[in-house]
């Protein structure tokens, strides 16, 4: 029955990236009288099922809100349970999971992992390392994550790149909206298509604010996460399919706006006369000078940039500008648990 439904869905467009706020585990645990702790474990089982369904349909990226930085305020025993759950399940996923092996899922952990105990960090490093070559799908575990911390991290990272003269703030294309997007934890993931929150709450709670607030289908579902099944996901996917064309259209409009901004503003810093042709020439010369200055690194970059040609680059830019950004993301802008992958 499920297979039939999936085949039917595949006649329409399948979302590339789904975000899940897995809310309501504790309330469900209390509802069925098994307690908060068991609620989390039941929640994990649901995650496995939904992940399997998504992979079967052809979804490329699943991003889940496993633990918020705000959740450290919870009682110590609950935090402890969550840490133990994370350690056990991450180890299972990277070593024994048939699902990960079958679909080539790369596991990434998004968030400020310096806030976690060392034993959990070790398990995370191992899980990411063991699966880093998997590039057919991605599972993003947000642990511990808040969207504001992500935006702050990306801003700080780009500004440090500017301080080190890896990037030029006068070149709009160096610090454009899409470059900021590529500096987030969700780099090398396609844009988020659907965001689902269970448990009936109607807010984002600091999850994927940037990714979900444009050209993304957001749904608030009135059931607890452990009660979420494929049959509850199905109508959401159908509603998404009705909107898929307008979502793609919005994305085209946003990126058109960005290219226009680049054309208009890119040469602002070096415009000395009103002749646009000359100004563009001067800008190009400046770019080349910048590349020559970084040339000691650029030979190393060349082979790597070939490999990472799949990184979503801002459209309409010259090769030098793209290389500057890509090289920054690989070096100064590198994030340990989010290796840049080229999704097949």
Partner 1 sequence: MKTLVQVFFLPHLFPVAPELVRIVRKDVGTELAKKPTHLAVITQKSGITLTGEVDETEENEWHARVAQLAQWSSAVGIKTLSIMRNAPLDPEDLEALQDRIDHTMKDFYKEEKRVPIALVRTLCPVEESLSLVFKKNNSQATIQRDLRLHGGRAFDLDIVILSPEDGHDRLAGNVRLLGEAALRQQISSEQITTSFLDTQLSAELTEPELLIILKDDLDLSSYPPWHIRLTEIYHHPDQAVIPVYTMFLQALHRFAKCDQRFGK
Nearest approach in angstroms of CB 80 to partner 1 is: 15
> Which one of 8-16, 225-233, 242-250, 295-303 is the stretch in contact with partner 1 (CB under 8 A)?
242-250
Nearest approach in angstroms of CB 304 to partner 1 is: 24
Q: Kindly tell me which of 155 and 281 has the beta carbon lying closer to partner 1.
A: 155
> Which one of 152-160, 272-280, 316-324, 335-343 is the stretch in contact with partner 1 (CB under 8 A)?
152-160
Nearest approach in angstroms of CB 73 to partner 1 is: 5
51-56 contacts: CB < 8 A, separation 24 or more?
Answer: 51/99, 51/139, 52/99, 53/2, 53/6, 53/230, 53/233, 54/18, 55/99, 55/102, 55/103, 55/105, 55/137, 56/6
Out of 12, 35, 117, 169, the only residue in the binding site for partner 1 (CB under 8 A) is: 169
Do residues 133 and 99 make contact, with C-beta atoms less than 8 angstroms apart?
no
> Which one of 89-97, 119-127, 128-136, 248-256 is the stretch in contact with partner 1 (CB under 8 A)?
248-256
> Which one of 113-121, 133-141, 171-179, 321-329 is the stretch in contact with partner 1 (CB under 8 A)?
171-179
Out of 102, 152, 281, 302, the only residue in the binding site for partner 1 (CB under 8 A) is: 152
Give the bridge partners for 116, in sequence order. none
Touching partner 1, residues 31-90 (CB under 8 A): 68-74
Is 176 a binding residue for partner 1 by CB under 8 A? The answer is yes
Q: What is the C-alpha to C-alpha distance for residues 120 and 93, in angstroms, rounded to an integer?
A: 14
Task: Enumerate residues 6+ apart whose C-beta is below 8 A from 27.
Answer: 39, 199, 224
Touching partner 1, residues 199-218 (CB under 8 A): 201-206, 209-210, 212-218
Q: Kindly tell me which of 181 and 304 has the beta carbon lying closer to partner 1.
A: 181
Q: Which two tokens stand for residue 275?
A: 């002749």
DSSP codes joined into one string, 216-234: -EEEE-SS-GGG--HHHHH
Q: What is the C-alpha to C-alpha distance for residues 47 and 26, in angstroms, rounded to an integer?
A: 15
Q: What is the C-alpha to C-alpha distance for residues 6 and 234, in angstroms, rounded to an integer?
A: 9
Is 219 a binding residue for partner 1 by CB under 8 A? The answer is yes
Q: What is the C-alpha to C-alpha distance for residues 19 and 140, in angstroms, rounded to an integer?
A: 9
Contact letters (x/-) for partner 1, 249-278, by CB under 8 A? -x--xx--xx--x-----------------
Do residues 145 and 68 make contact, with C-beta atoms less than 8 angstroms apart?
yes
Do residues 174 and 325 make contact, with C-beta atoms less than 8 angstroms apart?
yes
Q: Kindly tell me which of 13 and 177 has the beta carbon lying closer to partner 1.
A: 177
Q: Kindly tell me which of 169 and 336 has the beta carbon lying closer to partner 1.
A: 169
Nearest approach in angstroms of CB 265 to partner 1 is: 10
Size of the site for partner 1 (CB under 8 A): 57
Backbone angles phi, psi at 121, to 5 degrees: -60, -40
First to last CA, the chain: 29
Out of 130, 151, 248, 279, the only residue in the binding site for partner 1 (CB under 8 A) is: 151
- Closest C-alpha to 55, from 96, 91, 18, 1: 18
Is 177 a binding residue for partner 1 by CB under 8 A? The answer is yes
Burial of residue 201, with CB atoms counted within 10 A of its CB: 0-12 exposed, 13-18 middle, 19 or more buried: middle
The residues of the shown chain that bind partner 1, judged by CB under 8 A, are: 68-74, 146-149, 151-152, 154-160, 162-163, 167, 169-170, 172, 175-177, 179-181, 201-206, 209-210, 212-220, 243, 246, 250, 253-254, 257-258, 261
């Amino acid at each position: 029955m499920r297979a039939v439904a999936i085949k039917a869905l595949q006649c329409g467009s399948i979302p590339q990236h789904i975000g899940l706020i897995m809310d309501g585990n504790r309330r469900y645990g209390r509802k069925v009288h098994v307690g908060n702790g068991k609620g989390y474990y039941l929640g994990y089982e649901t995650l496995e099922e939904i992940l399997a369904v998504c992979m079967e349909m052809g979804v490329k990226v699943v991003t889940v809100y496993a633990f918020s930085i705000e959740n450290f305020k919870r009682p110590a025993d609950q935090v402890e349970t969550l840490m133990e759950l994370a350690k056990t399940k991450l180890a299972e996923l990277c070593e024994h999971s048939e699902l990960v092996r079958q679909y080539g899922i790369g596991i990434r952990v998004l968030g400020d992992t310096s806030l976690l105990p060392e034993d959990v960090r070790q398990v995370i490093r191992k899980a990411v390392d063991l699966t880093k070559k998997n590039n057919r799908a991605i599972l993003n575990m947000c642990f511990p994550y808040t969207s504001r911390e992500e935006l702050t991290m990306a801003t700080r990272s780009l500004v440090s790149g500017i301080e080190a003269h890896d990037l030029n703030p006068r070149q709009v294309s160096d610090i454009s909206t899409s470059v900021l997007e590529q500096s987030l934890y969700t780099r090398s993931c396609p844009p988020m298509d659907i965001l689902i929150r269970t448990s009936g709450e109607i807010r984002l709670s600091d999850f994927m604010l940037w990714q979900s607030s444009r050209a993304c289908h957001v749904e608030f579902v009135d059931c607890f996460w452990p009660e979420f099944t494929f049959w509850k996901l199905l109508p959401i996917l159908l509603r998404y399919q009705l909107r898929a064309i307008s979502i793609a259209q919005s994305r085209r409009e946003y990126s058109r706006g960005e290219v226009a901004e680049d054309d208009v503003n890119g040469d602002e810093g070096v415009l000395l006369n009103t002749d646009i042709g000359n100004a563009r020439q001067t800008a190009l010369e400046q770019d080349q000078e910048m590349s020559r200055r970084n040339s000691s690194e650029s030979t190393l970059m060349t082979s790597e940039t070939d490999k990472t040609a799949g990184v979503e680059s801002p459209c309409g830019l010259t090769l030098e500008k793209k290389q500057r950004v890509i090289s920054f993301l690989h070096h100064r802008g590198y994030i340990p648990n989010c290796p840049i992958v080229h999704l097949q």
